[in-house]
Amino acid sequence: MSRRLIEIDPALETELATELQRDRFHDECGVVGIQGHSEAANIAYLGLYALQHRGQESAGIVTTDGGEHRVHRAMGLVADVFSEKTLRKLPGRMAIGHVRYSTAGGSQIRNAQPFCATTDGGPVAIAHNGNLVNAYAIRRELEGRGAIFSTTADSETIVQLLARSRERTQEERLIDALSRVKGAFSLVLMTSDSLIAVRDPHGFRPLCLGRLDRAWVVASETCALDLIGAEYDRDLEPGEVVVIKRGRIRTLRPFKREKERFCIFEYIYFARPDSNLNGHNVYAYRKELGRLLAREHPASADLVVPVLDSGNTAALGYAEESGIPYEQAMIRNHYVRRTFIEPAQSIRHFGVKVKHNAVASILKGRRVVLVDDSIVRGTTLIKLVTMLRNAGASEVHLRISAPPTIGPCYYGIDTPTRGELIASNHSVDEICAIIGADSLRYLSLEGLRGSAEPLKSSFCDACFSDEYPVAVDSDDKIPQLSLFRDVEADDA
């Protein structure tokens, strides 16, 4: 049989990988910052390495020793973007870094962060996780006054506003700029002598603070602190601005107080299970969701099987609570985005088998509870349920450890449009029939909200409830990274 070898550029996925990727929500960024360490660039690199799950498309680090900023940014994974040689070219005791995920439209090196700018107050570099819901309107206004944007990302709006602010110091200019934007921002900004970390007043995205020897470290998640051996200090509070200069730290609260709206999906799917968010372990919470799901929606079955890796922890919780044995009866290949051989002749279900394969000896004649954390378009689950049946499963009962995903996100997560979300257009019974499962049950919204009460935060659950905590300008009610779609079209 003739075969052809396909080398896949990580940034340009095959149709197959794209389809599998598109059938999930995606976090859009992770940020890290360090002040007061002789190996600032290396520490930032390791921090980004730990945050790779928050963005796989581009990575960048900016450093300074009080003078000019040095930057290295490129498309690709952290380990591919940086080498010993590139890190050696980033001297300085202060650094910020960024990993980014984006949709195809925004997939350009000029959108890779951190963004750097020279202002009349000196150089600034910014790394932003989140999404601004009024960026389009501000951009139009600034362009009307002669501003020239060099990227198509909403984060540049903050830099443009900062550069135009009449306030005296860079710190005051940043606060002035952030007072004008609405939406989600957990960011780090570096001037020539200070590292500034900020969470928006609703606190949509995580940001934590740690200590490494005498240095201060800021990161999107605690797993980054763990890798570099930093000690967790605390999470930044919503609306908090932390200014770190020459080892001293100051806290400001310049914004109007708002109700906290931490993204519940960070707990359900985005954050790494070994991270703690607001002091609560993500793995433990996901397992609790699985237990709750088992109590809400029991099933007569022989095995609990996770969709790897997204449903893994909830499946463990479901199995523990129900007493049904847990089995990894589907195996996931983690390397499909790199290289694979495509046969010239068609093989049944080849596409999905590239990423998942069923263990027939475990499944034969068994009734299966298949657990995942969400259904976006449903395309992957159609194939997985078919795969389980073909491997011999006699029944497949699908259980989802979150409520139906009915709305897109406007606060920093890349989601399909409402029309593409299967739960937005179909009843649970219809989705079950489309996917081909014997039964389908989701965790209830009340159950999710009740489970979150011990976490002592109030949450955003808009993609499940349709209750959006921050109104979105109508022009911005389009997929997030297409915010400046007309600009993209002009550039094409």
DSSP designation for 337: T
Give Cβ neighbours of residue 225 (< 8 Å, ≥ 6 apart): 47, 208, 210, 217, 219, 231, 232
**Distance in Å, CB of 265 to ligand SF4, minimum:** 4
Identify which range of 83-91, 221-229, 262-270, 349-357 contacts ligand SF4 by CB under 6 A.
262-270
Maximum CA pair distance of the chain?
A: 73
Tell me: does residue 265 bind ligand SF4 (CB under 6 A): yes
Tell me: does residue 461 bind ligand SF4 (CB under 6 A): yes
In order of 131, 147, 189, 318, 413, the CA distances from 438 in angstroms are 39, 57, 51, 18, 31
Please tell me the distance from the alpha carbon of residue 201 to that of residue 163, in angstroms, as a whole number. 22
In order of 64, 89, 389, the CA distances from 84 in angstroms are 18, 9, 49
**Distance in Å, CB of 463 to ligand SF4, minimum:** 3
Nearer to ligand SF4, 365 or 454 (CB): 454
CB 206, CB 220: distance < 8 Å: yes
Identify which range of 86-94, 229-237, 273-281, 408-416 contacts ligand SF4 by CB under 6 A.
408-416
Q: Could you say which of 29, 116, 223, 263 is catalytic?
A: 29
- In single-letter form, the type of residue at position 376 comes to V
**Distance in Å, CB of 235 to ligand SF4, minimum:** 16
Identify which range of 42-50, 161-169, 251-259, 454-462 contacts ligand SF4 by CB under 6 A.
454-462
- Report, in angstroms and rounded to the nearest whole number, the Rg of the chain calculated over CA atoms: 23
374-403: contacts with ligand SF4 (CB under 6 A): none
Tell me: does residue 175 bind ligand SF4 (CB under 6 A): no
**Distance in Å, CB of 51 to ligand SF4, minimum:** 17
Number of residues that bind ligand SF4 (CB under 6 A): 11
Tell me: does residue 267 bind ligand SF4 (CB under 6 A): no
- Nearest Cα to Cα of residue 217 among 205, 206, 231, 203: 231
Tell me how crowded residue 232 is: count the other CB atoms within 10 A of its CB.
16
Tell me: does residue 462 bind ligand SF4 (CB under 6 A): yes
For 25-47, letters b (16+ CB in 10 Å) and e give bbbbbbbbbbbbbebbbbbbbbb
Tell me: does residue 411 bind ligand SF4 (CB under 6 A): yes
Tell me: does residue 460 bind ligand SF4 (CB under 6 A): yes
Tell me: does residue 463 bind ligand SF4 (CB under 6 A): yes
Nearer to ligand SF4, 62 or 452 (CB): 452
From residue 60 to residue 99, the character string flagging contacts with ligand SF4 as x (rule: CB under 6 A) and all else as - is ----------------------------------------
Nearer to ligand SF4, 174 or 470 (CB): 470
**Distance in Å, CB of 38 to ligand SF4, minimum:** 37
Cβ-closest position to ligand SF4 = 409
Q: Which two tokens mark 173?
A: 């200019």
Identify which range of 64-72, 88-96, 257-265, 338-346 contacts ligand SF4 by CB under 6 A.
257-265
Q: CA angle 195-197-201, nearest 5°?
A: 155
Q: φ and ψ at 258, to 5 degrees?
A: -125, 165
Nearer to ligand SF4, 263 or 388 (CB): 263
Nearer to ligand SF4, 230 or 263 (CB): 263
Q: Is 463 a catalytic residue?
A: no
Bond into 309 cis (ω within 30): yes
Task: Find the binder of ligand SF4 among 32, 116, 177, 263 (CB under 6 A).
Answer: 263
**Distance in Å, CB of 455 to ligand SF4, minimum:** 14
From residue 198 to residue 237, the character string flagging contacts with ligand SF4 as x (rule: CB under 6 A) and all else as - is ------x---------------------------------
- Nearest Cα to Cα of residue 212 among 86, 29, 31, 42: 42
**Distance in Å, CB of 264 to ligand SF4, minimum:** 5
Q: What share of the chain is helix, strand, coil (3-state, %, to 5)?
A: 35, 25, 40
**Distance in Å, CB of 420 to ligand SF4, minimum:** 15
CB 407, CB 462: distance < 8 Å: yes
Please tell me the distance from the alpha carbon of residue 88 to that of residue 93, in angstroms, as a whole number. 13
Give Cβ neighbours of residue 430 (< 8 Å, ≥ 6 apart): none
Pairing of strands 280-281, 413-414: unpaired
HSE of 158 in the Cβ direction (CA atoms, 13 Å)? 35
**Distance in Å, CB of 465 to ligand SF4, minimum:** 9
Nearer to ligand SF4, 64 or 458 (CB): 458
DSSP designation for 266: I
Q: Which residues bind ligand SF4 (CB under 6 A)?
A: 204, 263-265, 409, 411, 413, 460-463
Q: Which are the catalytic amino acids?
A: 29
